[in-house]
Amino acid sequence: MPGVPPARYAYLGPQGTFTEAALRSLPAARNAELQPLGSVGAALDAVRSGEADGAVVPIENSVEGAVAVTLDELSSGDPLIITREIHVEVQFSLLAKPGTAPVDIRRVATHPHAEAQCRRWLATHLPDAEVILESSTAQAAAIVAVQDSPYDGAVAAPIAATTYRLATLASNIADRTDAVTRFVLVSRPAAPQPPTGSDKTSLVVFIRDNHPGALLEMLEQFAARGVDLTRIESRPTGTALGEYCFFIDAVGHVADQRMGEALMGLRRTCADVRFLGSYPRADGKVTPVGQGTSDSDFTAAQRWLTSLRNA
C-alpha cells in the first residue's frame, strides 16, 4: 500500500549499543527507518537538516560516554528540542560465537567503561582472560562476529547479541546492578506535547557574570515560583555571553504557569536562555505542586491583581 513514508530516526551508532536499545524501546521506532551515525553531532545534524525526523542520543553518564558532547551540541547551532526521555538499564552480557564455551574465552573485547563496570565479574569468572579495549561495546561484539576473529568474546549490551548474531554466555554481569542511563529523543522545534503531570523541562542558561551570588539569583527564579530541579551542571562557555552556562532539568512543563513565569524570569535577567523542551519523565514521578503554585493559584492571583489595578 502506498502511503506515508516511514519516519526516520538517527542515533549514535554503531548498531548494537544501548543507544539503539533506547531508540528501539520507543513505539514510534517500530516501523521507522533507523540510522546509526558516527557521532552525536552527526545524529543531531541529521535532524537539523531534515534527513532524520528525530535522533536518540545519550544525555547522562552513558557507558558510551559522549554526554558532554551532547550538551555542547544542543546548546549551540540551530535549536532542537527534546521530546522524550528514555531510561535504559545498563546491563552487560558476555557474548560469543554460538558454540563457544566460557572456558574457551581467552581474549575478551569491550569498551573501557564497560570494562570498569564489569571488572569484578571478569576477575571472578574469566580470571585468565585478556581484556582488550575497543571504541564501543558494539564494535567489540562486531569484531567477535567476524570469521577468524582476534577475540573470543565481547562484553556488550544485550541487544548486540541480536545485531551480531552472537550467543549470550552470561547476562547481567555488571558489578552494580541498578545502573540506568538516560537518553533523549531530539526533534526540530515544535509545540511541546501537552503536560502529563509528570514532566521535565530542559534548559541551557547563560548567566551574565559570575559574582558570588549570581548562581543564587538565577536559582531564585525557580524557587520564587516553586519549581524544583533534578539536574544542574555548569560548563565554561568561553564566549562573550559570560563565563558559565548551566544545563538545567526542571520539574514540570512549559505550559505550567509556574514554569512559564520562571522561564520568563530567566529570559529577562540572564544573558541567554535556550529552551530544550518539555517532555514526560521517564521515571513517571508525579510533579509535586507546592502550596500556592498550581495553575489555579496563578489564575486566582492574576484575577486579584486585575481587581487591584482596576478597582
- Strand blocks (E) in 123-254: 130-133, 153-156, 167-170, 180-187, 199-206, 229-239, 242-251
Annotate 132-148 with b (16+ C-beta within 10 A) or e (fewer).
eebebbbbbbbbbbeee
Nearer to a second copy by Cβ, of 24 and 253: the residue is 253
Tell me how far, at minimum, the Cβ of 153 lies from a second copy, in Å. 16
The set of cell numbers assigned to 282 is: 521517564
> Is residue 227 at the binding interface for a second copy, with CB under 8 A as the rule?
yes
> Is residue 6 at the binding interface for a second copy, with CB under 8 A as the rule?
no
**CB contact at 8 A, 255 and 299:** no
Nearer to a second copy by Cβ, of 42 and 167: the residue is 42
> Is residue 309 at the binding interface for a second copy, with CB under 8 A as the rule?
yes
**Whether residue 293 lies in the annotated active site:** no
Q: How far apart are CA 1 and CA 102, in angstroms?
A: 48
**CB contact at 8 A, 274 and 201:** no
Q: How far apart are CA 10 and CA 23, in angstroms?
A: 9
The set of cell numbers assigned to 161 is: 547479541
Nearer to a second copy by Cβ, of 23 and 40: the residue is 40
For a second copy, the binding residues in 172-211 under the rule CB under 8 A are 178, 189-192, 208, 210-211
**Residues 18, 92, 183, 275: which is the catalytic one?**
183
Tell me how far, at minimum, the Cβ of 1 lies from a second copy, in Å. 33
**CB contact at 8 A, 271 and 241:** yes
> Is residue 123 at the binding interface for a second copy, with CB under 8 A as the rule?
no
Nearer to a second copy by Cβ, of 6 and 187: the residue is 187
Nearer to a second copy by Cβ, of 106 and 211: the residue is 211
Residue 175: C-alpha distances to residues 67, 93, 145, 179, 188 (Å): 22, 12, 25, 10, 38
Q: How many residues bind a second copy (CB under 8 A)?
A: 83
For a second copy, the binding residues in 128-157 under the rule CB under 8 A are 131, 133-136, 139
**Residues 110, 181, 201, 237: which is the catalytic one?**
181
Angle between helices 67-75 and 40-49 in degrees, nearest 10: 30
Residue 116: C-alpha distances to residues 87, 122, 207 (Å): 21, 10, 36
> Is residue 213 at the binding interface for a second copy, with CB under 8 A as the rule?
yes
Could you tell me how many residues make up the chain? 311
For a second copy, the binding residues in 13-52 under the rule CB under 8 A are 38-41
CA 67 to chain CA centroid, nearest Å: 8
**Whether residue 275 lies in the annotated active site:** no
For a second copy, the binding residues in 234-293 under the rule CB under 8 A are 234-235, 238, 244, 246, 254-255, 260-261, 263-265, 267-270, 275, 290-293
**CB contact at 8 A, 254 and 245:** no
Q: Which stretch binds a second copy (CB under 8 A): 15-23, 90-98, 157-165, 300-308?
A: 300-308
Tell me how far, at minimum, the Cβ of 161 lies from a second copy, in Å. 21
> Is residue 77 at the binding interface for a second copy, with CB under 8 A as the rule?
no
Nearer to a second copy by Cβ, of 93 and 110: the residue is 110
Tell me how far, at minimum, the Cβ of 89 lies from a second copy, in Å. 13
Q: Catalytic amino acids?
A: 181, 183
